């Protein structure tokens, strides 16, 4: 929560353009720059425009707000920027967004995102009573359970996310681990709200979630989404929410290593999309791959850009709902779908419900859906458990 | 003017043209110290034909056009001084050919140095090109247009000397090929044995036409690359050291650095020597030649080689050099600019003294890197000063220091590299009148309506 300093530091960007690239400079790795190609949509462009806005050299406009909000906060720029301030870049963007929120100057789609989360506890304006409609009788969290499974908004309401949640529940049940969900009592984790700059609403969500977790005696949380994992692990503690937080791939990998889950033989060629909030934000690159490689007969192939150079699906910072990067063959998810297909894989594995929904849609738009399946790692694992 | 906007949309599609305040603001500036001037439109063509249509439109409507690559010259060369259209060429990003046998690549105008480096490393590992120290977004074409230098300039000359052909959209809208590619599909020579017409476009900053494709010579990429560091505290010895090293014909790249911080650096001159080879024996032999060339200074205790430990090497060997870019933030200000005259190497000492004098006079942090060009026929000496973007007074002082450095460099037989419009006037005022008339006639011939990056190379 150091965004408030951004105004005194943001002039330090030289707009050198390293932020646009992956490590080997082979292509453009900033999702919004790759989509729009005006320099304004790169991190350097954004930081210069924010500074101009602060100095009064550029007036606020919907276009300025759109430039600011098309950043998916994927952290590629943080990886590539050669300057000492690199780790602060996302905080600066979030800080500027916070100022825009305070002034009520945000794109309408972002405003609707906030209204939905504020009014319904999710960005889809779905009823709270339907939050567990996916769960098919999944056990509610009770004192003594080892883990709280935090499903999140996409897992609760999005069709693809729901399938992912059900698979994960089935795999966890098969492993014998004790866990439960919050069902209708679950709130939005707030990661997107934080990244979009709605500080007040974010704090409110953290307080509600933390209080609920404490009331129930939750010690360990396993999240479906890397976005929830990121916010609960890295941002909640500063606001009093101290819990042991895991992403589900960490748990599944441990269960496999401890022989609690034994995948059967498969015949599949799979490539894997590193989610930004798992990889670049939390340095979790190996566990998802180890799960896939634990499946006998599964061949894991890498896309040209992977791990810290992975190309974002375009869904971060609420873009899986606001969709500010859509509408073009240059939309990040469509580019990524084509890259996955070029590996020769028959399956594109993901570990994030946002990636799942963005890439599933992109594969369909690219007419690749009969050639490339998009599946979450828990779905892949479940398939080969069922075959046992 | 809305007719121009509509016409641009028809040419490139609505997603790739903007007249919005945000794009006009950003494209009206560069990271250096020249005053901003905003364009009316920013347009991003994808093909030569789209460039041609834009130039024809600009001629009809008498609208200025400023072609732009990475926009990193720092001297305002892509600031549209008279408004009009900024043509961002980075969507023209295809590497069209890498010819291994004839050792050249053909690239579109927006291909970055980063992209070509990556392509060669992956698919043609025995070949490389001359990578400048500017960030990887610098484009091959724009770097050649400003007569950039790179890691092979000590051996091969300016990066523009390595051009092997051009495709140009003239200021009048015709598409024209320059060099061997004007006769066949081969891009191996930009001129010889024909009249070398590439000089009508290289060095002109887009004021005579838009280069849409370029052939770039490629060179052997040896398996091993290493760096040596020679240290002396005697500035006067630097030209002699350079001459001795160049004589060996063993050194890929020679760069002399000087800076006051950290304190151990002040008063010392670090001469970086880059060696390449296909075997350890080759590397050792080249190192031995360098040692022997400079042994005399070791014996007189005027200098010596410094051990470069393995952990010190990666930043020296990195291409491009991130450290060069980091200079912008040494005082947490986000800015630096340099005046970089091309000059005889014997001018090293007076230039260095001027660099330090101006830094002291204007209270600026400084640094200098002198890159040897073409076996020591010249060097690029950078008068580099940092500034804080949030400190207008410091920006003004830095600009004044750079102006004085440029004036001094001209007085001391240098030619200002990528000169800003004021420096262009200084150069043209000193130029042989017949040479200036020739330049003026060429410009009028190629750009009769005066629409191509106006303000540049225009004699008052």
Please report, for the domain that includes residue A330, its CATH number.
3.40.50.10700
Q: Are residues A93 and A138 in the same domain?
A: no
Q: Measure the N-to-C terminal CA separation of chain B; round to a whole number of Å.
A: 28
Contact A92, A9 (CB under 8 A): yes
A33 & A78 share domain: yes
Interface size between A and B, measured as CB pairs under 8 A: 111
Q: Are strands B253-258 and B366-373 parallel, antiparallel or unpaired?
A: antiparallel
Residue A150: phi and psi, rounded to 5, are: -90, 115
CA separation, residue A12 to residues A314, A376, B26, B72, B78 (Å)? 27, 40, 16, 16, 21
Q: Distance between CA A301 and CA B271 in Å, rounded? A: 45
Position A4 confidence tier, pLDDT thresholds 50, 70, 90 = low
Are A308 and A222 within one domain? Answer: no
Task: Give B191→chain A minimum CA distance, Å.
Answer: 31
Look over chain A and give the mean of its residue pLDDT values, rounded to a whole number: 96
Q: Are residues A125 and A184 in the same domain?
A: yes
- The domain tally of chain A equals 3
- A126 & A165 share domain: yes
In angstroms, rounded to a whole number, what is the distance separating the alpha carbons of residues B151 and A156? 55
| Residues A322, A380 share a domain | yes
Q: Do residues A95 and A135 both lie within one domain?
A: no
**Residue of B27, B48, B153 whose CA lies nearest to B417:** B153
Do A143 and A42 share a structural domain? no
Asked whether the predicted pLDDT for residue A388 surpasses 50, the reply is no
Which residues are B371's β-sheet partners?
B255, B380
Assign residue A197 the CATH number of its domain: 3.40.50
Q: Could you tell me if A352 and A312 are in contact, meaning their C-beta atoms sit under 8 angstroms apart?
A: no
DSSP A79: H
Domain for residue A221, yes or no? yes
Q: What's this model's pTM, rounded to 2 decimal places?
A: 0.96
Mutate which of B70, B137, B320, B323 to test chain A, going by most A C-beta atoms within 10 A?
B137
Among B121, B122, B333, whose Cβ lies nearest the Cβ of A12?
B333
Q: Residue A52: which of B70, B460, B390, B223 has the closest Cα? A: B390
List Cβ neighbours of B193 (8 Å cut-off, separation of 6 or more): none
Indicate if A362 and A273 belong to the same structural domain.
yes
CB of A26 within 8 Å of a chain B CB? The answer is yes
- Distance separating alpha carbons of residues B199 and B201, to the nearest angstrom: 5
Q: State phi, psi for B342 to the nearest 5 degrees.
A: -95, 125
pLDDT at B264: 79
* Residue A2, pLDDT above cutoff 80: no
User: Among A13, A14, A38, whose Cβ lies nearest the Cβ of B18?
Assistant: A38
pLDDT for the residue A387: 42
Looking at beta carbons, which residues of chain A come within 8 Å of B88?
37-39
Contacts with B70 from chain A: Cβ below 8 Å: 17
Q: For chain B, which domains are there?
A: 2-88 (3.30.43.10), 95-220 (3.30.465.10), 224-411 (3.40.462.10)
B380 closest CA partner among B74, B92, B153, B140: B153
Q: Do the beta carbons of residue B104 and residue B218 sit within 8 Å?
A: yes
Specify which residues A375 forms β-bridges with: A349
Is residue A111 in a domain?
no
What per-residue string of b and e applies to B400-420 under the rule 16 or more CB within 10 Å gives b? Answer: bbbbbbbbbbbeeebebbbbb
Query: Residue A114 domain-assigned?
Result: no
CA-based Rg of chain A, rounded to a whole angstrom? Answer: 20
| Residue A170 maps to a domain | yes
Hunting for tokens 């800080």 — which residue is that? Answer: A95
Cis check for the bond before B262: say yes or no (omega within 30 of 0): yes
For A349, list phi and psi in degrees, rounded to 5. Answer: -90, 140
Residues A181 and A276 in one domain: no
Domain's final residue, options A253, A272, A289: A253
Residue B434's alpha-carbon distances to A105, B458, B460, in angstroms, are 59, 15, 15
Does residue A225 share a domain with residue A135? yes
Question: How far is B161 from B232, CA to CA, in rounded Å?
Answer: 32
Look at residues A49, A75, A106 and tell me which one is the last residue of a structural domain. A106
Nearest to A18 among B18, B71, B136 (CB): B136
| CB pair distance less than 8 Å for B136 and A27 | no
pLDDT at B330: 87
How far is the C-alpha of A178 from the C-alpha of A280, rounded, in Å? Answer: 30
Decide: helix, strand or coil at residue A345.
coil
Does pLDDT of A1 surpass 80? no
The pLDDT value given to residue A386: 53
Range of the domain at A339: 261-386
Tell me the per-residue pLDDT of A162-193, one tens digit each, with 9 for 90 and over.
999 999 999 999 999 999 999 999 999 999 99
Q: Does residue A112 lie within any of the structural domains?
A: no
Radius of gyration of chain B (CA): 22
Residue A3 in this model has a pLDDT that exceeds 70: no
Q: Name the residue of chain B whose CA is nearest to A51's CA.
A: B390
Is A302 an 8 Å CB contact of chain B?
A: no
- Residue numbers in B near A59 (CB within 8 A): 21
Task: For residue A25, give the nearest of B18, B118, B336 by CB distance.
Answer: B118
Tens digit of pLDDT at every position of chain B (460 positions): 569 999 999 999 999 999 999 999 999 999 999 999 999 999 999 999 999 999 999 999 999 999 999 999 999 999 999 999 999 999 999 999 999 999 999 999 999 999 999 999 999 999 999 999 999 999 999 999 999 999 999 999 999 999 999 999 999 999 999 999 999 999 999 999 999 999 999 999 999 999 999 999 999 999 999 999 999 999 999 999 999 999 999 999 999 999 888 877 888 999 999 999 999 999 999 999 999 999 999 999 999 999 999 999 999 999 999 999 999 998 899 999 999 999 999 999 999 999 999 999 999 999 999 999 999 999 999 999 999 999 999 999 999 999 999 999 999 999 999 999 999 999 999 999 999 999 999 999 999 999 999 999 998 8
- Helix spans in B235-347 (H): 238-248, 280-299, 313-317, 322-326
Q: How many Å apart are CA B31 and CA A51, to the nearest integer?
A: 13
Domain membership of residue A74 (yes or no) is yes
Look at residues A106, A128, A155 and tell me which one is the last residue of a structural domain.
A106
The answer to whether residue A113 is domain-embedded is: no
What does the alpha-carbon distance between residue A259 and residue B348 come to, in Å, rounded to a whole number? Answer: 70
Q: What is the distance in angstroms between the Cα of A17 and the nearest Cα belonging to chain B?
A: 6
Are A249 and A265 members of one domain? no
Q: Do A40 and B26 touch (CB under 8 A)?
A: yes
- Per the DSSP assignment, residues forming a β-bridge with B217 are B104
Tokens encoding A67: 């430039």
Which secondary structure element, helix H or strand E, spans residue B213, and what is its range?
strand B209-217
Give phi and psi for B165, each to the nearest 5.
Answer: 155, 155
């Amino acid at each position: 929560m150091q965004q408030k300093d951004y105004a005194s530091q943001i002039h330090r960007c030289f707009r050198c353009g390293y932020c646009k690239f992956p490590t080997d400079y082979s292509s453009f790795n900033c999702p919004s720059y790759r989509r729009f190609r005006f320099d304004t949509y790169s991190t350097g462009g954004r930081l210069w425009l924010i500074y101009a806005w602060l100095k009064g050299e550029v007036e606020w406009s919907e276009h300025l707000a759109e430039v600011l909000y098309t950043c998916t906060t994927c952290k590629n720029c943080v990886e590539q920027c050669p300057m000492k301030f690199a780790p602060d870049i996302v905080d600066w963007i979030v800080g500027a967004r916070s100022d825009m929120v305070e002034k009520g100057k945000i794109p309408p789609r972002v405003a609707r995102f906030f209204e939905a989360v504020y009014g319904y506890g999710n960005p889809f304006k779905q009823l709270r009573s339907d939050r567990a409609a996916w769960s098919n009788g999944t056990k509610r969290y009770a004192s003594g359970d080892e883990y709280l499974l935090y499903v999140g908004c996409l897992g609760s309401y999005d069709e693809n996310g729901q399938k992912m949640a059900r698979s994960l529940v089935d795999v966890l049940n098969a492993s014998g681990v004790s866990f439960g969900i919050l069902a209708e009592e679950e709130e939005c984790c707030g990661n997107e709200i934080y990244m979009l700059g709605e500080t007040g609403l974010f704090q409110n969500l953290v307080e509600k979630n933390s209080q609920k977790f404490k009331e129930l005696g939750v010690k360990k949380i396993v999240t479906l989404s890397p976005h929830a994992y990121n916010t609960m692990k890295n941002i909640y503690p500063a606001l009093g929410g101290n819990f042991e937080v895991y992403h589900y791939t960490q748990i599944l990998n441990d269960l496999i290593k401890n022989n609690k889950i034994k995948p059967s033989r498969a015949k599949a060629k799979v490539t894997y999309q590193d989610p930004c909030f798992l990889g670049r934000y939390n340095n979790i690159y190996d566990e998802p791959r180890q799960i896939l490689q634990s499946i006998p007969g599964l061949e894991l192939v890498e896309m040209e850009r992977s791990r810290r150079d992975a190309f974002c699906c375009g869904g971060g910072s609420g873009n899986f709902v606001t969709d500010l990067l859509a509408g073009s063959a240059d939309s990040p998810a469509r580019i990524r779908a084509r890259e996955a297909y070029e590996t020769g894989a028959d399956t594109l594995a993901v570990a994030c419900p946002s990636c799942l929904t963005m890439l599933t849609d992109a594969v369909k738009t690219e007419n690749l859906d009969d050639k490339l399946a998009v599946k979450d790692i828990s779905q892949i694992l479940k398939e080969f458990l069922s075959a046992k | 003017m809305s007719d121009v906007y509509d016409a641009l949309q028809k040419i490139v599609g609505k997603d790739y043209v903007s007249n919005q305040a945000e794009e006009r603001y950003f494209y009206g500036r560069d990271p250096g110290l020249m005053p901003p001037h905003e364009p009316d439109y920013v347009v991003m063509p994808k093909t030569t034909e789209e460039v041609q249509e834009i130039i024809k439109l600009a001629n009809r409507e008498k609208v200025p056009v400023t072609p732009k690559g990475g926009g990193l010259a720092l001297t305002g060369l892509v600031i549209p001084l008279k408004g009009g259209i900024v043509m961002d060429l980075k969507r023209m990003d295809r590497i069209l050919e890498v010819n291994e046998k004839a050792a050249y690549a053909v690239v579109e105008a927006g291909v970055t140095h980063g992209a070509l480096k990556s392509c060669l490393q992956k698919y043609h590992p025995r070949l490389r090109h001359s990578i400048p120290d500017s960030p990887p977004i610098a484009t091959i074409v724009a770097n050649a247009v400003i007569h950039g230098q790179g890691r092979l300039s000590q051996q091969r000359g300016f990066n523009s000397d390595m051009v092997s052909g051009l495709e140009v959209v003239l200021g009048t809208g015709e598409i024209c090929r320059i060099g061997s590619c004007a006769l066949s599909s081969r891009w191996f020579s930009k001129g010889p044995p024909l009249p070398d017409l590439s000089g009508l476009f290289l060095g002109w900053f887009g004021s005579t036409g838009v280069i849409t494709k370029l052939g770039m010579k490629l060179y052997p990429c040896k398996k091993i690359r290493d760096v040596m560091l020679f240290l002396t505290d005697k500035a006067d010895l630097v030209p002699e050291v350079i001459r001795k090293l160049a004589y060996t014909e063993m050194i890929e790249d020679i760069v002399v650095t000087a800076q006051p911080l950290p304190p151990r650096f002040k008063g010392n001159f670090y001469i970086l020597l880059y060696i390449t080879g296909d075997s350890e024996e080759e590397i050792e032999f080249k190192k031995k030649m360098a040692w022997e060339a400079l042994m005399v200074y070791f014996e007189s205790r005027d200098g010596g080689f410094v051990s470069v430990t393995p952990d010190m090497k990666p930043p020296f060997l990195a291409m491009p050099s991130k450290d060069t870019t980091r200079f912008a933030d040494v005082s947490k200000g986000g800015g630096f600019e340099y005046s970089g005259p091309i000059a005889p190497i014997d001018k090293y000492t007076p230039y260095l003294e001027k660099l330090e004098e101006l830094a002291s006079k204007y209270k600026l942090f400084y640094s200098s890197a002198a890159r040897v060009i073409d076996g020591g026929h010249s060097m690029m000496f950078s008068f580099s000063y940092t500034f804080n973007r949030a400190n207008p007074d410091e920006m003004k002082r830095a600009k004044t220091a750079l102006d004085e450095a440029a004036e001094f460099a001209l007085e001391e037989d240098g030619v200002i590299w990528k000169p800003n419009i004021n420096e262009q006037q200084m150069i043209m005022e000193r130029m042989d009148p017949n040479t200036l008339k020739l330049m003026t006639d060429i410009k009028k011939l190629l750009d009769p309506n005066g629409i191509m990056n106006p303000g540049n190379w225009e004699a008052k």
